[in-house]
């Protein structure tokens, strides 16, 4: 999926690799690659800032991203 360039994928979709931008991303029109980039970005953020992934879980962002992947899988 080319996820080693997850920041570039996010940028192409007007999403910054920062909490607010990723949390507020409208996933309704994102493809699977971008949603996976969001998930990977959250995991990578936790490497640099312990608790970042937990924050994305608590905000509901991870649930929203996983639901979008499920929608895409059902198509």
What string of DSSP letters covers 29-53?
G--HHHHHHHHHHHHHHHHHSTTHH
Q: What is the mean pLDDT of residues 52-68?
A: 98
pLDDT at 1: 82
Q: How far apart are CA 27 and CA 40, in angstroms?
A: 15
The sign one gets for the Cα dihedral 34, 27, 38, 23 is positive
Q: How far apart are CA 51 and CA 27, in angstroms?
A: 23
Look at the chain and report how many structural domains it folds into: 1
Can you give the pTM of this predicted structure? 0.94
pLDDT in tens, 21-43: 999 999 999 999 999 999 999 99
60: left (phi over 0), alpha (psi -120 to 50) or beta: left
* Residue 34: domain span: 3-74
């Amino acid at each position: 999926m080319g996820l080693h360039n997850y920041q570039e994928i996010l940028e192409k979709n007007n999403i910054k690799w920062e909490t607010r931008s990723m949390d507020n991303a409208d996933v309704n029109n994102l493809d699977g690659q971008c949603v996976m980039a969001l998930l990977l970005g959250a995991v990578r953020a936790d490497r640099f800032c312990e608790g970042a992934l937990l924050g994305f879980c608590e905000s509901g962002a991870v649930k929203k991203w996983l639901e979008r992947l499920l929608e895409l899988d059902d198509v």
